[in-house]
Amino acid sequence: MYICQICKKNPATIHLTDIHNNVKKEVHLCAGCAAEKGFNMQSAASLPQLLGIKAKKQSTEEPRPNRFAPEEDIICPKCGYRWSDFKNKGRLGCSEDYHAFREKLRPLIANQLSATPIGPGPLHRGKYPGKKSSVDPVTREIRNLELDLRRAVDEERYEDAARIKSELRELRGYAGTPAKAADKTELN
């Protein structure tokens, strides 16, 4: 089991690999040390960014707090866990911590490197307790066919690819989903 390379104590849960001139570098961190380093854990940060070699421009939504300013500790009113405990252990104490520490946790969790940065609203896009999952069978079938198409093209089975494409066209018409730019170019 990898131990966090910074605190040399907690199990690492964030693994980064960078390959440069055929040399593989790995960084393994616990969530606490990643937070300490200002690392956005829901995105793939590059090693230089993580190690602070090159300050990469983050999204413009909020200025980065001055890392060198002495930091105020925060205590969760519900369970007594502190922000410093989190940095120490890489784990939280109770679900209320997400509120108590929200100013610090949110930028860690926000997915800033995606094509569309997530604004101030909800970060969660998945299922809700008690609700059935939202995937309809047509969308699922489209996804499966897209994969089949890719495989057929990779394997140069062009007749199969043409058949899958026409099936896809039909299904997308049914679901009202626009074709992806990617599979337009694939067969050319």
What does the binding site for other proteins look like in residue numbers (CB under 8 A)?
1-3, 11-19, 22, 24, 28, 31, 41-44, 79-81, 89-95, 98-99, 105, 108-111, 114, 118, 121-130, 132-135, 139-140, 143, 147, 150-151, 154-155
Among 27, 50, 76, 168, binds Zn ion (CB under 5 A): 76
* Contact of residue 69 among other proteins, Zn ion, none (CB under 5-8 Å per partner type): none
Query: Smallest Cα–Cα separation from 83: which of 93, 42, 144, 140?
Result: 93
Q: Which of residues 79-138 bind Zn ion (CB under 5 A)?
A: 79, 81, 93-94, 96-97
User: Rounded to the nearest 5°, which phi and psi values hold at 29?
Assistant: -130, 155
| Residue 83, binding choice from other proteins, Zn ion, none, Cβ under 5 to 8 Å by partner class | none
| Binding partner selected for residue 158 from other proteins, Zn ion, none, CB under the kind-specific 5 to 8 Å limit | none
Quote the CA–CA distance of 115 and 132 in Å, as a whole number.
28
135 binds, among other proteins, Zn ion, none (CB under 5 to 8 A by kind): other proteins
Sign of the dihedral through C-alpha 116, 117, 122, 126: positive
Contact partners, residue 1, CB within 8 Å, separation at least 6: 11
Compare residues 4 and 145 and give the one whose CB is closer to Zn ion.
4
Total binding residues toward Zn ion, as defined by CB under 5 A? 14
Query: How many other C-beta atoms can be found within 10 angstroms of the C-beta atom of residue 9?
Result: 13
Distance of alpha carbon 2 from alpha carbon 11, whole angstroms: 6
